[in-house]
Structures are given as structure tokens and as C-alpha cells.
């Protein structure tokens, strides 16, 4: 039986801030951007993201990702937690003991825009 999980709003969709070259980052924007970049600055997490992006649905089950990386389930879950906290992936659904994670295309596009200088300024918090 498939159980849908709620999506947590841990990070806004897209980028945290305006492009780096447009203006100096605020302290808050710098912290948000650093959180996302730190989450990506790990070889295992980059491989997890690559595996998920290579999947047609841009998702991965912890069971499949564990085997593909040759890491233990707790280690893969830890890395997925870090990517989730950064808003780069999210828990899409749960089937039995396994959680399926999906890539947040908006978050990756936002990061790319911040770094390349093409992102629109971030909206003010509600």
C-alpha cells in the first residue's frame, strides 16, 4: 500500500537569493546558500543526486540507492536527510519500509541561477 508523505517547506523553491554578482549577499542568504552548497559538497551525495537525475522520474528508493552506492542503508538515509534539509530532494512517498525521494528541479535550477548570475531576486518571505 502506498503512503504519501507530506512535503515539508524547509527551503523555498528555487534559489535562496539573487545572483552572486548582483549584490553582496545578506547574512541570511549566505547561510541558506551555504547550506545547499554544503549538502552538495559530498561525493556520496553527488552520486545519489546523479542516480536520481538519471532515473526517468528523477526519484530513487532508499533500497535501490543503497545497492547502487554500495553503502549501508543508515548511511544513505543520512545523506538523503542532508539533501532533504537543504531542499534539494524531498520524500515523495513511502512503500512499506522504503522511502522514495524525488529531486527538486526548482531547487537545482535556483542554485544554478544564483551561481551563473541568471536567477531572479528571491521573493520576500510571507
**Region 97-111 average pLDDT:** 92
Q: Which residue has the higher pLDDT, 118 or 5?
A: 118
> Domains of the chain, with CATH numbers?
26-115 (1.10.10.10)
Residue scoring higher pLDDT (50 or 125): 50
DSSP 64-104: HHHHHHT--HHHHHHHHHHHHHTTSEEEEEEETTEEEEEE-
Please state the rounded mean pLDDT for residues 51-62: 93
More confident site: 16 or 74: 74
pLDDT in tens, 73-102: 999 999 999 999 999 999 999 999 889 999
Lowest average pLDDT, out of 24-28, 41-45, 96-100, 118-122, goes to 118-122
Amino acid at each position: 500500500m502506498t503512503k504519501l508523505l507530506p512535503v515539508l517547506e524547509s527551503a523555498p523553491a528555487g534559489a535562496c537569493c539573487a545572483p552572486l554578482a548582483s549584490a553582496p549577499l545578506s547574512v541570511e542568504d549566505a547561510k541558506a546558500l551555504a547550506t545547499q552548497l554544503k549538502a552538495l559538497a559530498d561525493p556520496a551525495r553527488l552520486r545519489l543526486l546523479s542516480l536520481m537525475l538519471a532515473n526517468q522520474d528523477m526519484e530513487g528508493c532508499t533500497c535501490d540507492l543503497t545497492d547502487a552506492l554500495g553503502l549501508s542503508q543508515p548511511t544513505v538515509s543520512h545523506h538523503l536527510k542532508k539533501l532533504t534539509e537543504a531542499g534539494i530532494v524531498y520524500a515523495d512517498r513511502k512503500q512499506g519500509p522504503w522511502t522514495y525521494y524525488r529531486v527538486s528541479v526548482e531547487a537545482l535550477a535556483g542554485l544554478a541561477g544564483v551561481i551563473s548570475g541568471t536567477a531572479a531576486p528571491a521573493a520576500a518571505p510571507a
